[in-house]
């Protein structure tokens, strides 16, 4: 992945003219100039300060060739892929880069590396794909003798696939596509497709309670973890994989979502499914976001949810249409005319996706369709569904282009019970709009619902604005306003992006002071020197 | 509930003659004499030793009328309802009875009571329905200044029902039938029906990770907990109810299954469902347990499991037929002849149950039926299903009768992945048979599979034997042999009975020493004086 953005060089996207017009008109953006990242050589990088003795011990632990501190390695591990990360990296600020990148090749090497760092008081940041959007992998080493990124890419094995029990034991450093390729060889899939899929890892998913785009059907990663192995400085937590147990508190759930602060997730046994024979994705239109959400609620509570279920609000639908409208031909114009006729002009686009065998997909699709139609939906056929499927990982590429054009673009997500969802939606949208207006850069706020539960759903917000002169302050103000609104409206501070550094301030509201104390108590047992991913998850 | 057994006086069951013949013939039982429990007045009860100052503070906390230490109250709170508990109680041994029974009327009163007991170093046993079968509520007060049972029966409110989100916030002391009655008034059900349903409580279910008989459909209690409130001596853990979150480790899962050692679960927000319009229960026959289990696996992994799915092994089927055969008429004889013809003689009985609206039940029933037939099953119609439904809570009543007849009768349960299930089944059965034979009392070992997961299933064992002269040693030997076999075969030490005192010895194997340390770390934060349910869950 290129050090200043997403994807590899040569994967740039370009925005169609109607999209540029919309951004100019509605955000007052001056899109004429390109705001390119600085050159790698111009990035400001502190001198490495890893004590020589610590470095020697790390080299002994993992092999000298697996401890590197060249410029590109350090810059590539200096931050995640959140908006603030990219703003700083592109401007040449890698001041928090790790002193070295250490790549263990086994759980034993992880343990040895952690022991070395504990003794030397060197902070350790477990690093999977580095795609955190909440500051989860930026080294914070104040008070330590240095910081290393523990890059898990060499832990990339498939330890075991149990086809009768439909479980697979995967090493933490496996990237999404490689994990799916290896599982696919045996006819199974994890079905876990977050937007970061191409560059994120199994361990990262487990460490952050990731939810894939198809999690309404396949389940969140927390639903998929049957067993897990965490290597910590002071020992190892190993939950033997069993389908269910009443043997006390579930320690899996302490490891899942621990974001590197308790130790390093080296391996997880995950529930898998047969590779689907058929994938069927379709579009739906609803007159309003409220109407569509209610239809989704009824569908979900009837156990009739598709594997992918998403619905954009009016604003996100409008912007998405503009972004995609470059090639709008006669058929699409006719389609829009039809929707207008049915009172759906300015309505909301939803996507449903079904995966499975032919018969299964058809049976479920018909049942879901009947419920959505009863809830006011109009089926739009496969074209919008397939368009979504093609672009499911496109977001971060588009973000690079928007950053290049001098725009703020950020996403955040929450979840709440169905009865609180309307209030949460209104409150977060209003908070973001108000904050952006106060920065003198009125913005666009888009939202979709994308993960359904019997008791509630998630809301995923995207906001766009012209960058102010203090882009980090502008971003921080908007993020804080949204977070305050989420907490006040009874939502969770994060549905699948995790806590990292960006949400730490709202953890007391989320779990209470006693709850934080319980996590701290676990950390003290597992990481007495406090070296594991300092500054993340837990307020200091 | 009567102090020496299950149910209320007047609910005795009697065994039909074919059952008595089977027990005589196969266990060598002498069923001529009754072994009645001693009279309440003859129960040996230590003098209460609660310090007067502690008692005064408890009275101030909950009201003097809610602190009692009369004979019947103390005996009724002296133990749970496991086999060993009943053997001791019936023989007049209540030597571990609490010094007093304290009944708080609110979470604030719980907190005040815990503070009083912390300062006075009095052990506290949270007490719901008192139906633990693993020694979970027996006071162990060695090293303390006394012990109280904290009876939660006054925490019996329904705080809130959210019909849009299908959640209900219930207080911990609500008994099963009353919880269902109150929810039913609003058209919803928790669908949680453990065998102890009539006498167990919401808080007890959450504290022990209970699984109801219909948990294949409705979910285990751990699946149903959306929010929870734990009052501990040193503070309160409150998880706000959200459908899903990525905000760090899930502290709900530390509270669920905590068995009173961390604090008192005062309230839980649980996921509910609409009261089903239709309940349809049916019987199935399979040629062998192995064939039936494989059919169940295929069914479950096709997402086609009924809400209740259970299958008895050959031995349990044979004994159940004998127990129920008293009234076997011409139709049943004809049915058995038909099964013999189809090669199902000596086969296995399975029960499937569907609950929902008419259309939903019918659709699912047809699909499940097709899969079970493809797996070798023969449908037996509604009669066996309805017979099971009528007797679903009968087990503990029958146990009282068996105890009266001088028989050992105990149950235990485990779970494992599908690929380990056969080995687990064989190993546990062999261990129990061997242990009973070594006690000079060869036994019957029955088993059923009763909770299905995509990755595995539970096994529930019942064993019966003539009581030896040292019934507690005989029981302990069999229990240990089964537990060792479970651990060695990769099962969990308990699928839904919890740890209590009986499974403590196998917790190191279950979660590892580091895992135990993590639970201890949580306990030290929440219960620094260590007064909460000592001797349970955690090895000392």
> What digits encode the pLDDT tens for the residues B446-496?
999 999 999 999 999 999 999 999 999 999 999 999 999 999 999 999 999
A330 falls in which pLDDT band (50, 70, 90)?
A: low
d(CA A173, CA A153): 5
What is the rounded CA–CA span in Å between residue B397 and residue A478?
63
Q: What is the pLDDT of residue B11?
A: 74
Residues in chain A closer than 8 A to B522 (CB atoms): 249, 518, 521-522
Q: Is the pLDDT of residue A325 over 60?
A: no
Average pLDDT of the residues in B306-332: 81
Helix A52-62, helix A107-120: angle, nearest 10: 170
Q: Do B522 and A519 touch (CB under 8 A)?
A: no
* Chain A residues with CB-CB distance to B519 below 8 A: 248-249, 251
All residues of chain A having their beta carbon less than 8 Å from the beta carbon of residue B246 are 208-211, 257, 492, 494-499
Q: What percent of chain B has pLDDT over 90?
A: 89
Is the pLDDT at B191 greater than 80? The verdict is yes
- From the candidates A249, A275, A452, A524, which should be mutated to test the interface with B, based on the most B CB atoms within 10 A? A249
Return all residues near A457 (Cβ < 8 A) that are at least 6 apart: A293, A296, A297, A300, A415, A416, A418, A421, A449, A450, A451, B243
Of the ranges A10-19, A390-399, A404-413, B510-519, which one carries the lowest mean pLDDT score? A10-19
Q: Is the pLDDT of residue B195 over 80?
A: yes
Asked if pLDDT for residue A210 goes beyond 90, the answer is: yes
What pLDDT does A342 receive?
80
- Partner-chain contact A499 B248, CB within 8 Å: yes
C-beta atoms of B419 and A164 within 8 A: yes
**pLDDT tens-place string over residues A378-394:** 999 999 999 999 988 98
Please report residues of A whose CB lies closer than 8 A to that of B244.
211, 220, 222, 415, 451, 453, 456, 458, 492, 495
- Identify the H or E element spanning B352: strand B348-356
Is A250 close to B521, i.e. CB distance below 8 A?
no
* Closest Cβ–Cβ partner in B237, B254, B512 for A512: B237
Evaluate whether A217 touches A224 at the Cβ level (below 8 Å).
no
B236: closest chain A residue by CA: A514
How far is it, in rounded angstroms, from Cα B453 to Cα B510?
19
How far apart CA B36 and CA A299 sit, in angstroms, is: 56
pLDDT tens-place string over residues B69-89: 999 999 999 999 999 999 999
Confidence of residue B243 (pLDDT cuts 50, 70, 90): very high
Do the chains contact at A243 and B297, CB–CB below 8 Å?
Answer: no
Residue B332 is predicted with a pLDDT of: 67
pLDDT exceeds cutoff 80 at A30 = yes
| Average pLDDT of the residues in A182-195 | 97
With contacts defined as CB-CB under 8 Å, which chain A residues touch B494?
245-247
pLDDT at A7 over 90: no
Considering only alpha carbons, which residue of chain A is nearest residue B259? A248
What's the Cα-to-Cα distance from B305 to each of A525, B15, B354, B359, rounded to whole Å? 41, 33, 9, 16
Lowest mean pLDDT among A132-141, B395-404, B470-479: B395-404
Facing A253 at nearest CB: one of B209, B249, B511: B249
Measured between CB atoms, which of A167, A498, A522 is closest to B246?
A498
pLDDT band at A329 (very low <50, low <70, confident <90, very high): low
> Would you place residue B239 in the very low, low, confident or very high pLDDT band (cuts 50, 70, 90)?
confident
Nearest CA in chain A to B363: A363
Phi then psi dihedrals of residue B487, to 5 deg: -60, -45
Q: In the A/B pair of chains, how many CB contacts fall below 8 A?
A: 277
User: In angstroms, what separates the C-alpha of A282 from chain B's closest C-alpha?
Assistant: 22
- A209, B297: Cβ pair inside 8 Å? no
Tell me: pLDDT of A175 over 70.
yes
Among the partner residues A250, A254, A496, nearest to B246 by beta-carbon distance: A496
A484-512 burial, b at 16+ Cβ within 10 Å, e below that, comes to bbbbebbbbbbbbbbbbbbbbbbbeebbb
Whole-angstrom distance between the N-terminal and C-terminal Cα of chain A?
32
A interface test, pick of B247, B259, B412, B538 with most A CB neighbours within 10 Å? B247
Rounded distance between C-alpha atoms, residue B305 and residue B354, angstroms:
9
Q: Give me the pLDDT at residue A338, please.
A: 74
- B534, B144 contact by CB (below 8 A): yes
Angle between helices A395-404 and A83-90 (to 10 degrees): 40
- Which chain A positions have a beta carbon within 8 Å of B511's beta carbon? 239, 247-248, 251
CB–CB of B415 and A497 under 8 A? no
pLDDT at B213: 94
The DSSP secondary structure of B132-156, one letter per residue, reads -SSSTTS---TTSS-EEEEE-TT--
Q: Please choose, from the candidates A76, A109, A78, A108, the residue with its C-alpha nearest in 3D space to the C-alpha of residue A95.
A: A78
pLDDT bin (cut points 50, 70, 90) of residue A328 is low
In this prediction, residue B13 carries a pLDDT of 81
Max CA distance (Å), chain A = 75
Give A201's Cβ-side CA count (13 Å radius).
27
Residues A467-481: what's their mean pLDDT?
A: 97
Q: What is the mean pLDDT of chain B?
A: 95
**pLDDT for the residue A331:** 64
Q: Chain A contacts of B254, Cβ < 8 Å? A: 249-250, 253-254, 518
Our CA-based measurement puts residue B231 at a distance from the nearest CA of chain A, in whole angstroms, of 11
As a three-state string, the secondary structure of B462-479 is: EEEEECCCCHHHHHHHHH
Q: How many CB atoms lie within 10 A of CB B439?
A: 22
Closest-CA residue of B relative to A521 is B521
Residue B451's closest chain A neighbor by CA? Answer: A244
Reference B397, options B3, B36, B7; nearest CA is B7
Q: What residues in B contact A271, CB-CB < 8 Å?
A: 454-455
At A274 the pLDDT is 97
Structure tokens at A275: 């590779």
Alpha-carbon distance of A408 to A424, in angstroms, equals 23
Q: At what angle do helices A83-90 and A471-488 cross, to 10 degrees?
A: 170
* Residue A310 pLDDT greater than 60, yes or no: yes
**Of residues A100, A106, A99, the one with CA closest to residue A62:** A106
Q: What is the pLDDT of residue A332?
A: 67
- A426: Cβ–Cβ under 8 A, 6 or more apart, which residues? none
- CA A126 – CA A116 distance, rounded (Å): 15
Interchain pair B415, A226: CB under 8 A = no
Using an 8 Å CB-CB cutoff, list chain A residues near B208: 246
Say how far apart CA B365 and CA B354 lie, in whole Å: 7
Tell me the HSE value of A402 on the side-chain side, using a 13 A CA sphere. 24
SS3 state at B189: strand
**How distant is the Cα of B264 from the closest Cα of chain A, in angstroms?**
14
Tokens of B96: 């571990």
Direct distance between the N- and C-terminal alpha carbons of chain B, in angstroms, rounded to an integer? 32
Nearest-CB residue to B247 (from A220, A250, A492) = A492
* Mean pLDDT (whole number) for B181-194: 97
Pairing between β-strand A444-453 and β-strand A407-417 as defined by DSSP bridges: unpaired
Spell out the alpha helix ranges (H) of B155-273.
176-184, 202-208, 215-218, 221-224, 252-255
Cα separation of A349 and B485, whole Å?
Answer: 56
Tell me what percent of chain A is helix, strand and coil, each rounded to the nearest 5: 40, 20, 40
| Structural contact between residues A251 and B511, judged by C-beta atoms closer than 8 angstroms | yes
CA–chain centroid gap for B34, Å, is 27
Lowest mean pLDDT among A109-118, A227-236, B323-332, B453-462: B323-332
Q: What is the mean pLDDT of residues A444-462?
A: 97
Confidence of residue A441 (pLDDT cuts 50, 70, 90): very high
Cβ(B104)–Cβ(B49) below 8 Å: no
pLDDT: which is higher, A31 or B183: B183
**For chain B, what percent of residues have pLDDT higher than 70?**
98
- Average pLDDT across chain A, whole number: 95
Q: How far apart are CA B403 and CA B422, in angstroms?
A: 31
For A255, the closest chain B residue by CA position comes to B249
Average pLDDT over residues A394-423: 95
Residue B326 clears pLDDT 60, i.e. is over it: no
User: H or E stretch including A151?
Assistant: strand A147-151
Task: Report the residue from A241, A514, A525 with minimal CB separation from B521.
Answer: A525
Tokens of B145: 């200044």
ipTM of this complex: 0.96
Give the Cα-Cα-Cα angle A132, A137, A141 (nearest 5 degrees).
Answer: 155
Q: What letter would DSSP give residue A275?
A: P
**Residue of B245, B367, B420 to mutate, interface with A, max A Cβ within 10 Å:** B245
pLDDT tens, residue by residue, A214-268: 999 999 999 999 999 999 999 999 988 899 999 999 999 999 999 999 999 999 9
Q: Write out chain B residues lying below 8 Å of A522, CB-based.
A: 249, 518, 521-522
Is pLDDT of B325 > 60?
A: no
Please tell me which of the candidates A240, A507, A522 has its beta carbon nearest to residue B518: A522
d(CA B122, CA B113): 10
Nearest CA in chain B to A498: B246
Record: contact B248-A511, CB cut-off 8 A:
yes
**What whole-number distance in Å separates Cα of residue B410 and Cα of residue B443?**
11
Average pLDDT over residues B406-414: 97
Closest-approach residue (CA) in chain B for A505: B247
Between chains, do A165 and B419 touch, taking CB under 8 Å as contact?
yes
Chain B environment of A417 (Cβ under 8 Å): 162, 164-165, 167, 226, 241-243
* Rounded Cα–Cα distance for residues B315 and B317 (Å): 5
Residue B353 CB coordination number (10 Å): 24
Round to whole Å and give the CA distance between B106 and B156: 9
């Amino acid at each position: 992945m290129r050090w200043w953005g997403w994807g590899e060089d040569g994967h740039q996207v370009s925005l169609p003219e109607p999209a540029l017009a919309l951004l100019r008109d509605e955000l007052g953006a001056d899109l004429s100039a390109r705001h390119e990242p600085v050159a790698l050589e111009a990035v400001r990088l502190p001198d490495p300060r890893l004590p020589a003795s610590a470095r020697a011990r790390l080299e002994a632990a993992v092999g000298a060739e697996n401890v590197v501190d060249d410029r590109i390695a350090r810059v590539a591990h200096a931050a995640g892929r959140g908006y603030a990360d990219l703003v700083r990296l592109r401007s040449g600020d890698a001041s928090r880069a790790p002193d070295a990148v250490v790549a263990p090749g086994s759980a034993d090497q992880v343990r040895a590396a952690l022991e070395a760092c504990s003794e030397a008081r060197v902070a350790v940041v477990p690093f999977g794909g580095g795609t955190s959007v909440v500051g989860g992998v930026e080294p914070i080493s104040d008070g330590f003798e240095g910081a290393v990124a523990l890059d898990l890419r060499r832990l990339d094995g498939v330890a075991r696939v149990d086809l009768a029990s439909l479980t697979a034991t995967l090493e933490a450093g496996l990237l999404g596509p490689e994990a799916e390729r290896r599982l696919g060889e045996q006819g199974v899939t994890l079905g876990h497709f977050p937007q970061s899929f191409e560059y994120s890892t199994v361990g990262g998913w487990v460490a952050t309670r990731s939810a894939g785009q198809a999690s309404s059907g396949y389940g969140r990663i927390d639903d998929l973890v049957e067993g897990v192995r965490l290597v910590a400085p002071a020992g190892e937590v190993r939950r033997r994989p069993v389908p269910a147990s009443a043997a006390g508190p579930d320690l899996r759930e302490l490891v899942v979502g621990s974001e590197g602060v308790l130790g390093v997730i080296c391996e997880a046994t995950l529930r898998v499914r047969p590779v689907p024979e058929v994938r069927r994705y379709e579009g739906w239109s609803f007159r309003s976001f409220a109407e569509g959400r209610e239809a989704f609620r009824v569908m979900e509570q009837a156990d009739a949810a598709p594997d992918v279920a998403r619905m954009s609000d009016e604003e996100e639908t409008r912007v998405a249409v503009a972004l995609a409208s470059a090639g709008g031909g006669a058929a699409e114009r006719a389609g829009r005319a039809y929707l207008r006729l049915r009172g759906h002009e300015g309505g909301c686009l939803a996507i449903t996706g079904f995966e499975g065998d032919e018969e299964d997909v058809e049976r479920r699709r018909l049942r879901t369709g009947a419920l959505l139609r009863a809830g006011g939906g109009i089926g739009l056929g496969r074209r919008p569904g397939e368009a979504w499927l093609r672009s499911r990982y496109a977001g971060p590429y588009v973000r690079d282009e928007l950053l290049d054009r001098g725009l703020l673009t950020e996403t955040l997500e929450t979840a709440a019970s169905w009865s609180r969802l309307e209030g949460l939606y209104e409150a977060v949208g209003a908070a973001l709009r108000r904050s952006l207006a106060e920065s003198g850069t009125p913005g666009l706020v888009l939202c979709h619902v994308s993960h359904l539960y019997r008791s509630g759903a998630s809301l995923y917000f995207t906001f766009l604005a012209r960058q102010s002169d203090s882009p980090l302050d502008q971003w921080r103000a908007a993020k804080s306003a949204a977070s305050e609104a989420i907490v006040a409206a009874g939502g969770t501070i994060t549905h699948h992006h995790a806590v990292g550094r960006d949400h730490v301030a709202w953890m007391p509201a989320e779990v209470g002071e006693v709850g934080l104390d319980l996590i701290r108590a676990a950390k003290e047992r597992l990481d007495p020197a406090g070296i594991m991913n300092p500054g993340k998850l837990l307020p200091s």
